[in-house]
A and B are shown apart, each in its own frame.
Chain A
Amino acid sequence: MLRYIYKIKIVLRTPVAIFWTLVFPIFLGMLFYFMFGNIDLEQQFSKIPMGVYAEIENENFMQMLNEVKTEDDEPMFDVHIYDSVEEADKALISDDIDGYVIVREKEETESNEKDTSGIDGVLGEDDIMNNSIFSNVGQEVIGGMLPNDMSKEEIISWMIANKDLITDFVKESGNEGVEDFDFDRDMDLDNIAGQVQSMMNNTSSEYEMVVRDMDVGASVIKTFLDQYIQSNEMITKAAADDPGKIMKVISGLYGEGIEIKDIPLKGEDKSPYTQYFFALIAMTCLIASQFGLENGKSIQVDQSALAARRNVAPTPKLSQVVTDFLGTYTIFSAMLMIVLAVVVFVYKQDFGSNAGLIVLNALVGGFTGQAAGTMIAVMSSGDAKKKDSLCVLFFMGSSFLSGLMWADITYYLEEKLPIVNRINPATLIVNGFRSIAVFGNYRQYFTNLATLFGIGVLFILISAAKLRRQKYASI
């Protein structure tokens, strides 16, 4: 017992031990906290800056870009108009925009020449023009169906000729106030004909997107453009097939939409950045290898004068090894708990609600770390500097492989070399935390814990076997 207390005193008076176990992890945690602590708030959706350089006028497309909104009813794009590609390139170079779209006239080919067979049935109406979605789509449809060279007067004549169909179309739209729709009273033919004529030019537009890289913003712009092109194409084709179908296609397309219900996993943590804090605690656990290393060195006669004195003392070697191990493990565990508490309560990282299992995982991690240090001290030959280097290599290497510097490395290793994930102590500690916090998978947790503990016991057995046989004929 006395030796146990002395060992605790020795460790407490070693500033290096306190630095590595307390100061360093808390400092690193602070780095992570500043970097990722408020990232969820800061990464809330903001308008995607994009540019447009229109070689031809396309009011319809511009209107759609300005009016498209996110689920939270926020504008999706911050649209900048440029007069030349050079100007847009400049904005792209200076990161003012995520990409820009060039709107140009579509080269007519045999396959995309307009099919005017369905002209008689294609409609445009007041309500369509007043509702952004219906306005764009409605205009696009008409533009797709009517020949480009129609004058305003011809369009008006066409609308008058299709008066009944337009009236039905408006009423079928189901929009508010359309029940009393009267073609002669409500249709501003001149205005609508003007818009349709302007839009007609737009249907023959093609869109080229220019980016610097396919990042998140550029991908959103592309997804939007593809959907815009495909939706218009679909409505045009449906109209060509049977004009009476347009209204239903539109309402189906822009109706309530299909939902995907998320089935939550059993865990609680939702932040991808908590992975870094898991790896930080894993590294702290493995820093216990420094304690194990010192213990190992202080029992080997050829390593220090103190070890030589201890070796000739009447106390059995086993007793010395056990008290050293328990003394350092006690202090280390206390410091580990402080680090864990700082990470959970000060840096506000959610490790899940099962505190007992979280602490158990950390403690077993510390045990394995200390056992590894002891084994390095006992098994490696050479001077103290070499043993220290091997110890740093062990805990830094193991921590790196568990995602301390690059969170996705474990998934990369899982593809290329999965055995590393099954035996690397730091990965086992990280996965123990993830099993509880993210997946709520206790089976996986206990598998990791058992493997980790097994590795620790193996290290202890190897060290004991080597120490037992060690004899010193001369030092």
Chain B
Amino acid sequence: MQVFKLFFKVLKSYKGVILVYGIVSFAVAFLMTGPNSGGAAKKDSDEMLRQTPVNIAVIDRDTGNMGEIVKEFVKKKNKLVDIEENDEAIAYQLYWRAVDYVLIIPEGFQDKLLVGKEPAFEGMSTPGTYKAAYFTSELTMYISKIKGLVEAGYTLDEAVKLLDEIGKEECTVSLASFVNENQHDAATVFLSFVPYMFITLCMGGMGMALMRFNEKEVSARMECSPTPLYERTAGFICGTLFYGAILFVVVMIAACAVSGGSLLSDTRLPYFIVNILAMLLLGLSLGFFAGIVSMGNNMLTGLLNIISLALCFFGGVFVPREFFGESVMKVAKLFPTYWYIENNEMIGAVKTVTPAFKRSLFSQAGIVSAYAVAVFAITVVIIYRKRQVK
């Protein structure tokens, strides 16, 4: 009990550091959850299957009706944004992404179209962003249709009217029967940041405490104290587990809060818990490892930042895995965080729990736990070697 109490006394002395890591990691999770999820509320499947509208500005330099026709077309699926027609204003709007695409209808566009020539639009977008790709592709097809109809003898108005009518014809899209409409809800997105929270708080919290215990003077004093080794070990283990339990409870409360309480009655909750516990085990193992190998605060902070960021970037915590190339994906599979995210997404999307789902869940959580055990084993070997050296 003495060691257990001491463990928390040491932790208390690091409360400032733990608080900073807590604030940073939770702020990252909360800030990234909002815009990356569909919100706490259940998302309508229609909304989920709709293409994301983009902000389009239209600069009409043509004298005909084409500007109005294009603007009406933009409004059907996207947001039409007003823009001042000068280079500086356009660059500023694109810079801050108030506008995703600026479409310019050049002078004489309509006349060329009406006489069967191939007129061209002009467009500006932020380099490297492809948000407006669907819009530009649909627009060119729309204008090609107008051109076809005009060449066939329709007036411009008749062509637009006919296309308006035809434009309502779309294929129906539905979610596969096995997909949960809540797959991108706030709780699922928030829980995808659990690896960052656990790794930083375990390494920065219990890692710091263990490091203090391992300092030369402290460890030497403890060695000659009347407290037997098993009692000290039990004290450490209980302290570590209790610290882990506190982290788990805090994360669950936060997840429930972002889900608006719906997580508590969610059938996916037990599976999320299994996955989170596996990650907690890994976080505690890494904290144990960092606490044993670090020879000072600075070394521990360095290890913490390198390990947490490497695991989180390669595991797909910060950058969605859809952006990974094939070779990066192969490397990513070597990281335990990859399997946590894989599980988290699978649980988020599950609608009916099948034996195959359970098999995947437990095997992937097993991989994360196996990493935790491996890190723990390596640390034990390091302790053993250190003792031999002594």
Contact = CB atoms under 8 A, between A and B. Distances in A.
Q: Is the interface of A mostly helix, strand, loop or mixed?
A: helix
A141 interface: no
Contact-size category for B: 35 or more
B151 to A, nearest CB: 4
B170 to A, nearest CB: 5
Contacts of A382: 16
Interface string A245-260: 1101111110111111
Interface in A412-430: 412, 414, 421
Interface string A222-248: 110111011101100110001001101
Contacts of B172: 206-209
A389 interface: yes
A211 B49 contact: yes
A19 interface: yes
A393 B148 contact: no
A390 interface: yes
Contacts of B48: 213-214
Contact of A389 (B20, B28, B120): B20
Contact of A441 (B23, B95, B138, B301): B95
Contacts of B83: none
Nearest to B143: A258
Contact of A237 (B138, B166, B326): B166
Contacts of A414: 96-98
A253 B144 contact: yes
Interface stretch (B125-133, B246-254, B258-266, B267-275): B125-133
Contacts of B147: 252-253, 255, 258
B331 A34 contact: yes
Given A35-B313, A214-B51, A270-B128, A222 B171 contact: yes
A439 B34 CA distance: 29
Contacts of A388: 17, 297
A226 B50 CA distance: 13
B97 A411 contact: yes
Given A223-B134, A231-B145, A393-B24, A406 B309 contact: no
Interface in B142-186: 143-145, 147-154, 162-163, 165-167, 169-179, 183-184
A271 B178 CA distance: 37
Contacts of B230: none
Contact of A249 (B23, B104, B129, B149): B149
A271 B130 CA distance: 11
A396 B167 CA distance: 49
Contact of A267 (B127, B140, B150): B127
Contacts, number: 269
Contact of B171 (A36, A226, A237, A412): A226
Given A260-B136, A265-B91, A35 B314 contact: yes
B228 interface: no
B199 to A, nearest CB: 14
A264 B125 CA distance: 8
Contacts of B121: 258-261
B333 to A, nearest CB: 14
Interface string B173-211: 111111100011000000000000000000000000000
Contact of B166 (A43, A207, A233): A233
A111 B119 CA distance: 35
A28 B302 contact: no
Interface string B290-322: 000000011001100110011011100011001
Contact-size category for A: 35 or more
Interface string A378-420: 0000100110111011001100100001101101101000000
A238 B331 contact: no
Interface in A31-76: 31-32, 34-36, 38-39, 41-43
Contact of A89 (B50, B124, B176): B176
B151 A259 contact: no
B171 A209 contact: yes
A31 B127 CA distance: 23
Contacts of A274: 128
B218 interface: no
A312 B379 CA distance: 47
A20 interface: yes
Given A206-B172, A249-B152, A389-B16, 8 more contacts: A39-B324, A209-B171, A237-B162, A269-B127, A385-B297, A405-B318, A406-B318, A414-B96
11 contacts: A19-B298, A35-B319, A39-B324, A206-B172, A213-B179, A237-B162, A255-B144, A257-B144, A263-B122, A390-B20, A441-B91
Interface of A: 16, 19-20, 23-24, 27-28, 31-32, 34-36, 38-39, 41-43, 89, 92-93, 101, 206-216, 218-219, 222-223, 225-227, 229-231, 233-234, 237-238, 242, 245-246, 248-253, 255-267, 269-274, 382, 385-386, 388-390, 392-393, 396-397, 400, 405-406, 408-409, 411-412, 414, 421, 434-435, 438-439, 441, 443-444
